């Protein structure tokens, strides 16, 4: 994505509560809540070349009872033509945040797709301070240019 801060025009808000269940009594131990907001970035898009750029802001909150660190990410970005981009990597925006219970981390990044509408979904790979590894599922959220979806 080109350098420079994206300008957000219209925002779509999605809230997804993520729970890693390793047993009924421990279901609150490893709990991450993720909030995603996506917006179209017309200044970086080229509709004539089928390039639609979206900024998305993610808030990750540790709503469990054990501190955990985000180690890596795995995204599946799907456009309206069912073309899937798979993105894997360490951390998010160059960081691997360590979140104590009640702490939050927010970042903004971007994605480009070939259609005016698409979706993103994925997982964050986490390691709790007690050594337990778990995935925090990120529910699908929509990427859409303004006035495309009702």
pTM: 0.79
Q: How far is CA 38 from CA 13, 64, 134, 146, in A?
A: 7, 26, 26, 11
The helix/strand/coil state of 44 is helix
Residue 3 is predicted with a pLDDT of 41
What are the pLDDT digits (tens) for 95-122? 999 999 999 999 999 999 999 999 999 9
Instruction: Give residue limits of the domains in the chain.
Output: 11-143
CB 80 within 8 A of CB 132: no
The CATH superfamily of 11-143 is ApaG domain (2.60.40.1470)
């Amino acid at each position: 994505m080109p350098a420079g801060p994206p300008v957000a025009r219209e925002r779509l808000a999605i809230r997804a509560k993520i729970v890693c269940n390793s047993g009924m009594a421990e279901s609150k131990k490893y709990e991450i809540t993720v909030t995603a907001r996506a917006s179209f970035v017309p200044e970086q898009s080229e509709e004539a070349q089928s390039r639609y750029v979206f900024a998305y802001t993610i808030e990750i909150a540790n709503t469990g009872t054990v501190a955990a660190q985000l180690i890596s990410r795995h995204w599946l970005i799907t456009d309206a033509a069912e073309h899937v981009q798979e993105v894997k990597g360490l951390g998010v925006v160059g960081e691997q945040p360590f979140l104590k219970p009640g702490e939050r981390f927010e970042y903004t990044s971007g994605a480009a797709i070939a259609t005016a509408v698409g979706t993103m979904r994925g997982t964050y790979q986490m390691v709790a301070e007690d050594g337990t590894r778990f995935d925090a599922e990120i529910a699908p959220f929509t990427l859409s240019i303004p006035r495309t979806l009702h």
